[in-house]
Amino acid sequence: MKVVIKLEDDVSTDAIYPGRFMATVLPNETPQFAFADHSEFNSKLKRHEIPAGSFMIAGKNFGCGSSREQAASCLRGYELVVIAKSFGRIFMQNAINLGLRVIVCPTLEAAEGDELEIENEFVVNKTNHKYFPIEPLPKARQAIMDAGGLIPYTRKKLIEKHAARPH
């Protein structure tokens, strides 16, 4: 998939999901406000010109600032994959809990339009033929993200527990 936008360091949750839309909290409604102040990108998202699974890349501290969960849910609504050199702590936990695919890759070199691929523990830039190591998440956090978020993960664990019980 392609890199659809390249962002710098310290992208705040207010840039991702502006505070004036905080009255909208439902995950099926928040995507329309993703990067609302970045009108060109927001328009492409709303017109579904960006395919699910596309890569958004950023520098250090992506999702810094407030703890608004909507910043992660609005990106999850478009099924974007966010690769950053590092993430704000609260944003990272919100992303994992909501099943937003986030990848920590401190050495990534890529530009908008580059073709990326995830291979095992590397981000591969197919455009410049370079490999960049992924910083793995702790296994428990990865399991939650892989399940699609905390609710699906918990549901899965409860079903497994119930199935393992003698009847």
pLDDT, tens only, 110-157: 999 999 999 989 999 999 999 999 999 999 999 999 999 999 999 999
The kind and range of the H/E element at 55 are strand 55-58
Among 23-27, 58-62, 70-74, 138-142, which stretch is predicted with the lowest mean pLDDT? 23-27
> 54-66: buried (b, 16+ CB within 10 Å) or exposed (e) per residue?
bbbbbbebbbbbb
Residue among 36, 16, 19, 139 nearest 84 (CA): 16
Which pLDDT does position 167 carry in this prediction?
67
Which pLDDT does position 102 carry in this prediction?
97
Is the pLDDT at 48 greater than 90? The verdict is yes
Q: pLDDT > 70: what percent of the chain?
A: 99
Which pLDDT does position 60 carry in this prediction?
98
Which pLDDT does position 42 carry in this prediction?
97
- In terms of phi and psi (left: phi > 0; alpha: psi -120 to 50; beta: otherwise), the region of 148 is left
Name, in order, each residue with C-beta under 8 angstroms of 78's C-beta and a sequence gap of 6 or more.
31, 34, 45, 50, 52
The Cα 90–Cα 3 span in angstroms is 24
Which pLDDT does position 25 carry in this prediction?
77
| 42 close to 34: Cβ distance less than 8 angstroms | yes
Among 21-30, 50-59, 111-120, which stretch is predicted with the lowest mean pLDDT? 21-30
Which pLDDT does position 158 carry in this prediction?
94
Two tokens, residue 153: 């993960």
Name, in order, each residue with C-beta under 8 angstroms of 79's C-beta and a sequence gap of 6 or more.
52, 53, 101
| 72 close to 63: Cβ distance less than 8 angstroms | yes
Name, in order, each residue with C-beta under 8 angstroms of 35's C-beta and a sequence gap of 6 or more.
15, 16, 41, 42, 45
The Cα 13–Cα 153 span in angstroms is 25
- Tell me the pLDDT band of 162, cut-offs 50, 70 and 90: confident
128-140 confidence digits (pLDDT tens): 999 999 999 999 9
Q: What is the mean pLDDT of the chain?
A: 95
Residues in the chain: 167
